[in-house]
Structure 1
Amino acid sequence: MEASPVLAEVWRGPVLESVHRGAVAICRPDGELVEAWGEPGRVILPRSSCKMIQALPLVESGAADRYGLTAEHLALACASHQGATIHTALARDWLATLGLGDGDLRCGAHAPYDTAARRALRNRGEHPCQVHNNCSGKHCGFLTVNAHLGGDAEYVDPDHPVQRAVRAATEEVCDETVTAFAIDGCSAPNFAVTLKGLATAMARFARPAEGFRGIRAQAATRLRDAMAAHPELVAGEGRACTALMRAMNNGTVVKTGAEAVFVGILPEQGLGIALKIDDGATRGSEAAIAALLVRHGALDAHSPAFRAYADHPIENRRHIVHGHLRAAETLFD
């Protein structure tokens, strides 16, 4: 089997010390493959990169409007957030609107990634709640669909009506039949798709009128625009998704997933990007997505955000620059 191409490199002085290999697919809404590195037909678990797909039933079912959800709620539904106050307060209010609480979530608890929130919990002698889970917004969305449908409490069961709706949406927007799934870190099923299928779905979010019809086009537009308008809710301070979307400020949306998956939704270009780094290193996926955004005119190569992720100096403990993390030159050729 041929090795995947190098998408990011780590240099120490003049020596190439490490590489991150992977695959990329870039598609149009009709499924046309515009560019690819590696095998675009590779089947992957999209992990959290597909949260906007998982949120489609929230809007399409009428649940979002029934419960008065705002663009902020929709952005949080698509988020892998830091567990900062802006995230947890919104999640708690959302649950209260449904007449539910933290115990109704099925995502599990973990310490917030946000330093201030983590320190505040420790100072109060409190343990993390499920709203601190980076996927709690997605799960609030699932609970909203469930309340609308009248399903039972175990909404993460793969055979639950909520997850059947997510699976159907995944197959339809990716133009693929899901043949496998795995349970994600938040206990929800994650449906396997090809990179090409995922890139096609992202292109359809970029140009919903070309890729979808009726209610789905409206739902995709609302979710995409909510993410673009509220990048701080999609991830948080110091995170690549938030920093890159702020730097572009042109409606382009990016979303990371665990194990070094990244997607891009480029409305101006009408393109969708999906990539996966073989070794699961986030630094590799962040470098690659930043380079691809520059390649297709969504991000300025001179912006600090580009340099932070695709041409990042590496310092030693005396703050002397001794190397660089760089996107591979093949992504710029």
Structure 2
Amino acid sequence: MRRLGISVYPNHSEVEEVKAYIELASKYNFKRIFTCLLSVEGNKEKVIKEFKEIIAVAKDNEMEVIADVSPQLFEELGISYTDLSFFKEIGANGIRLDNGFTGNEESVMTFNPQGLKIELNVSNGTKYLENILSYQANPSNLYGCHNFYPHKYTGLGYDHFIATSKQYKEQGIKTAAFVSSKTATIGPWPVSEGLCTLEMHRELPIVTQAKHLWATELIDDVIIGNAFASEEELKALSEIDPYQLILNCELVEEIPETEQKIVLEEPHYNRGDVSDYVIRSTQSRVKYSGHEFPAFNTPAIKKGDILIESSLYARYAGELQVARLPMENSGRTNVVGWVVEEEVFLLDLIKPWQKFKFHQKRINLIKVNTSVA
């Protein structure tokens, strides 16, 4: 199951504010929480009491809580890797090892009698997981979670992200990665330039970030790295389909009713015999066979344009396509809209036979261009 999550930082926020944020996220079906226990500064009893209070609220809202820890924290609190009862006592469902041990210790942890999940750092790109599994770990108690990066330009590159995520998915391990809120400012460190996993996401809308992570089919849980995201962002994320890519689009003002219905209401999937130039959704030409599709907007075609063939294309009339590359227009292809600029790159992830939909983001007030390329 793919889930949404939030992050909370009790050491940097008021407890009541954190509780209210958890309640709000739960309202929008968020199911997991990341929190940071890398160091316990100040009054340890007070810090632990606050963590317990916050985790109790999460539990009341059926949210899983994973706490970020390190070997240094184990030393600070006198915790042994053979006895994780402390984390169970504060209410956590699992711990994330920001820095690991040697492999054998993690393997032992996966058999903890408290049933805690042991989450590993995916981003490092070493043979860490392979090493732990070689010690006959219990894989059902293992998670993988990427890092987040508060400093601009330090986030993961896309190729590295794909390669490291595959290491975990190929072993059947549940994975997570972080997206960044535009309104949130709180994280575990003083630097606050966003808290995303992928550097390419730092300036993108939060919904686009989440769509991209799920579209890779390598990430199960999408977690907002910084706090506190706005209610508008939480709501928008809750409305994403984690299993089907829905592309935000704009339509030309003068689009005919049938063409609009084809774009927004008909089911779409990319044909198996794929083209480099277009994503082809062909069932509409079958359903609307015999309908007259006039040529009304036939400019040159750019990547991301949504196309419907006119009746001048005979048997192709009514077929929907999405341009993957710029193309000339013969004068027979209508440009009926376009994928919004920030989501055009998602077209590169659509595979043969993959199902997808369009959502009209807003009405475009630009008149159509009837010139022929």
Q: Smaller-chain TM-score range?
A: under 0.3
TM-score, L = length of structure 1:
0.27
TM-score, L = length of structure 2:
0.25
Greater C-alpha Rg: 2
